[in-house]
Amino acid sequence: MKLNVELRNIKWKKVRKLRREDKVPAVVYATHLEKPISILCDRNEFVKLYRQTWYSTPITLTWEWVDELVLIQDIQLDPVTDKAIHIDFLWIKKWVKVSAEVAIVMIWDEESPLVKSWDANFELLKDYLMINALPKDLVKEITVDVSGVTDLDTVIFVKDLQLPEWIVSEEDGELPVVTVIDLKKSAAEEEARELAAQEESATGEDSEESHDDSGKSESEDND
């Protein structure tokens, strides 16, 4: 993946004008740099590239005579238009392992016993995983196949994820990733909650009526 950029050497007061021209301000960070490098990206080119990548996808930034490998660290979005208004890149080296965020994607077969029975559903509790690997070994996503799950009490943890041997998780292995939702149990619990709410409401109405009747009796006695 390659993205052509240009060095930014302008005052911040002109940034708004640049954004109207579909230019996105960005910075490149690195431990060996005294200060970040300010650059500009073409918005359309960045969006096109980003649709094919993730935070764990190495990107080659090209400006003037420089070609450097980076990872996307952060994307600041406009709260109204949802367009990128600023991007942070991390300068990485091919031979040095790096930490990166990869998406966790749950997959299943429609013939899965629990799915087919309509008795249960699966809930993804964790959307991403922090991993450590060489840039060339980074992946866009980690898949969790729940097709073979048959037990309603099953919980899949980080330690259960099938990672390539060259990728190491940086997160607690005991963190839950996927859990099973018992649909019949959930429906019964919801029905019980609704019934309890109805009974509580009815009790409250009876109490108010009793109070009103008591008030009327006192008024009649005084008369």
Domain edge (last residue) among 92, 116, 136 = 92
20-34, 152-166, 183-197: least confidently modelled range: 183-197
Burial class from Cβ neighbours inside 10 Å (0-12, 13-18, 19+) for residue 182 reads middle
pLDDT in tens, 132-178: 999 999 998 999 998 888 888 889 999 999 999 999 999 999 999 99
pLDDT per residue over 52-82, tens digit each? Answer: 888 899 999 998 888 899 999 999 998 998 8
* pTM beyond 0.75, yes or no: no
Picking from 38, 65, 92, the residue at the C-terminal end of a domain is 92
What pLDDT was estimated at residue 19? 67
Q: Are residues 152 and 123 in the same domain?
A: yes
Identify whether 199 is part of a domain. Answer: no
What pLDDT does 187 receive?
44
| 10 and 82 together in one domain | yes
**What's the rounded Cα separation, in Å, for the pair 123 and 106?**
9
Query: Domain with 33 in it: what CATH number?
Result: 2.40.240.10
pLDDT at position 213 is 57
More confident residue, 2 or 18: 2
Say how many domains are in the chain: 2
Q: Out of 68, 92, 116, pick the residue that ends a domain.
A: 92
Q: 3-class DSSP state for residue 128?
A: strand
Can you give the CATH number for the domain in which 178 is found? Answer: 2.170.120.20
Q: Report pLDDT for 78.
A: 87
Do 165 and 148 lie in one domain? The reply is yes
Which residue blocks in the chain are alpha helix, DSSP H? 15-20, 43-50, 113-117, 183-222
Q: Is residue 202 part of a domain?
A: no
Count Cβ neighbours within 10 Å for each residue of 85-119 and write b for 16 or more, e otherwise. bbbbbbbbeeeebbebbbebeeeeeeebebbeeee
Q: Round to whole Å and give the CA distance between 106 and 191.
A: 29
Please check whether residue 194 lies inside any domain of the structure: no
Q: How far apart are CA 74 and CA 2, in angstroms?
A: 18
Mean pLDDT of the 105-112 span: 84
Q: Is the pLDDT of residue 12 over 60?
A: no
Q: If you average pLDDT over every residue of the chain, what do you get? A: 82
212 CB burial (10 A radius; 0-12, 13-18, 19+): exposed
197: in domain:
no
Asked if pLDDT for residue 194 goes beyond 60, the answer is no
Domain containing 56: what range? 2-92
